[in-house]
Structure 1
Amino acid sequence: MDTKTKYLKIACNLATALVILWFIIFILPRLMSYFMPFVVGLILAVIANPIVKFLEKHIKINRKWGSMITIIAVIGFIVLIIYGAATLLGQGIGAFMNYMPTMTTNAGHEFSKAMNQLQTLLDRLPFTKDVDFSELIATVEKYAANALTGTGSSPINAIGGVAKSLPDILVGVIVGLMATYFFVADKDRLITGIENHLPKAFIQKIEHIYQQLVTVVGGYFKAQFKIMGVIYVIVFIGLLLLHVRFAWIIAFGIAFLDMLPVFGTGTVLCPWAVIKLFSGNYYIAAGMIILYIVTLVVHQLVQPKLIGDSVGLDPFAALFFMFIGYKVSSVVGMILAIPIGMIFINLYKAGAFDTVVWCLKEAISDFNSFRRVDEKK
Structure 2
Amino acid sequence: MLKKWILPIVILLIILFLIPYSLPFILALVTAVLLENSVKLFMIRFRWQRFRAVLVTFILYLMFIALFVWFVVNLVIDQIVTLAQKGPSFVTNFYKESLIQFVDRFQYYFKSLPPDVIRSFEQTLEKSIDSVTQMAQSILEWLFGLATAIPGFLIEFLVYLIAVFLFSLELSRLKIKTERHLKESTKEKLYLITGQLNKAGIGFIKAQIFLSVVTFLMAFIGLSILQVPYAVLLSILIVFVDILPILGTGSVLVPWAVICLFQDNQFLGIGLILLFIVITVVRRILEPKVFSSNMGISPLAALISLFVGFKILGFIGFFVGPAIVIVYDTLREAGIIKSRWRV
Instruction: Measure how far apart 1:55 and its partner are.
Output: 2.4
Gaps of 5+ in 2: none
Are 1:173 and 2:170 matched, yes or no? no
**1:298 corresponds to which residue?**
282
Would the aligned equivalents of 1:114 and 1:275 in 2 still touch at CA under 8 Å?
Answer: no
CA contact (8 A) 1:324 1:337 kept: no
Which residue does the alignment assign to 1:86? 73
The alpha-carbon distance between structure 1 residues 32 and 343, as it changes in their structure 2 partners (threshold 3 A), is farther
Q: Is the Cα–Cα contact under 8 Å of residues 117 and 278 in structure 1 kept in the other structure?
A: no
Alignment of 1:220-239 (within 5 A): 220-239=204-223
TM-fit CA distance, 1:230 = 0.8
Unpaired stretches in structure 1, ≥5 consecutive residues: 1-7, 362-377
CA distance in structure 2 between the partners assigned to 1:87 and 1:303 by the alignment: 30
In the alignment, structure 1 residue 335 sits paired with structure 2 residue 321: no
Q: 1:18 to 1:186 in 2, by over 3 A?
A: closer
> Which deviates further from its counterpart, 307-316 or 281-290?
307-316
> What corresponds to 1:69 in structure 2?
56
- Give the AA of the match of 1:209: I
Alignment of 1:252 onto 2:240: no
- Residues 1:32 and 2:22 aligned together: yes
Is it true that 1:324 corresponds to 2:307 in the alignment? no
The structure having more radius of gyration, on CA atoms, is 1
| Residues 325 and 336 in structure 1, CA contact (< 8 A), matched pair in contact too | no
Kept after mapping to 1: 8 A contact 2:305/2:322: no
In structure 1, distance between residues paired with 2:160 and 2:305: 41
Shift of 1:192: 1.0
Q: 1:269 to 1:61 in 2, by over 3 A?
A: same
Provide the residue aligned with 1:49 in structure 2.
36
Aligned mate of 1:283, from 267, 272, 282: 267
Q: Which residue identity lines up with residue 173 of structure 1 in the other structure? A: L
Summarize the Cα distance change of 1:180–1:137 in structure 2 as closer, same or farther, 3 Å threshold: same
Task: Map Cα deviations across residues 221-265 of structure 1 (whole Å, 9 max, x no partner).
Answer: 321221121111111222233333333222222223333336543
Structure 1's 98 and 196: CA in aligned 2 closer, same or farther, altered over 3 A?
A: farther
Specify the code of the residue in structure 2 equivalent to 1:340.
A
Name the CA distance, whole Å, in 1 between partners of 2:309 and 2:321: 6
Paired residues for 1:16-165 under 5 Å: 26-27=16-17, 29-33=19-23, 36=24, 38-96=25-83, 110=98, 133-137=121-125, 143=132
Asked if the contact 2:254/2:276 (under 8 Å) is kept, the reply is yes
How many residues are aligned here?
Answer: 332
Query: Higher mean Cα deviation, 100-109 or 191-200?
Result: 100-109
**Cα drift, residue 20 of structure 1:** 8.5
Do the aligned partners of 1:236 and 1:251 also contact (CA within 8 Å) in 2? yes
Deviation at 1:114, TM superposition (A): 5.4
RMSD of equivalent CA atoms:
4.7
Q: CA deviation at 1:204?
A: 4.1
The 1-side partners of 2:327 and 2:10 are apart by 17
CA–CA distance in 1 between the matches of 2:167 and 2:135?
Answer: 51
Q: Indicate how the Cα distance of structure 1 residues 116 and 139 shifts in structure 2: closer, same or farther if over 3 A, else same.
A: farther
Q: Which amino acid aligns with 2:50?
A: R
**Please, what TM-score do these two structures have when normalized by structure 2?**
0.71
- In the alignment, the residues of structure 2 paired with residue 351 and residue 122 of structure 1 have an alpha-carbon distance, to the nearest angstrom, of 70
Residues 191-230 of structure 1 aligned to structure 2 (within 5 Å): 191-200=175-184, 202-230=186-214
C-alpha distance in structure 2 between counterparts of 1:119 and 1:19, whole Å: 68
**Contact 1:216–1:343, Cα closer than 8 Å, also in 2:** yes
Cα distance change on mapping 1:61 and 1:216 into 2, 3 Å? closer
CA deviations on 1:183-236 (whole Å, 9 max, x unpaired) are 334433321111113455554444333223223333233212211211111112
Q: How far, CA to CA, are the matches of 2:123 and 2:94 in structure 1?
A: 17
Letter of the 1:82 partner, please give it: V
Contact 1:227 1:299 in 2 (8 A): yes
Q: 1:247 to 1:136 in 2, by over 3 A?
A: farther
| CA distance, structure 1, for counterparts of residue 320 and residue 81 of structure 2 | 34
TM-score (norm 1): 0.66
The alpha-carbon distance between structure 1 residues 342 and 69, as it changes in their structure 2 partners (threshold 3 A), is same
- The equivalent of 2:225 in structure 1 is 241
Going from structure 1 to structure 2, the CA distance change for 1:307 and 1:335 (only over 3 Å counts) comes to closer
CA 1:107/1:135 → structure 2, altered by over 3 Å: closer, same or farther?
farther
Residues 104-133 of structure 1: CA deviation (Å, up to 9, x unaligned)? 77778857865875787799899x966854
Deviation at 1:135?
4.5
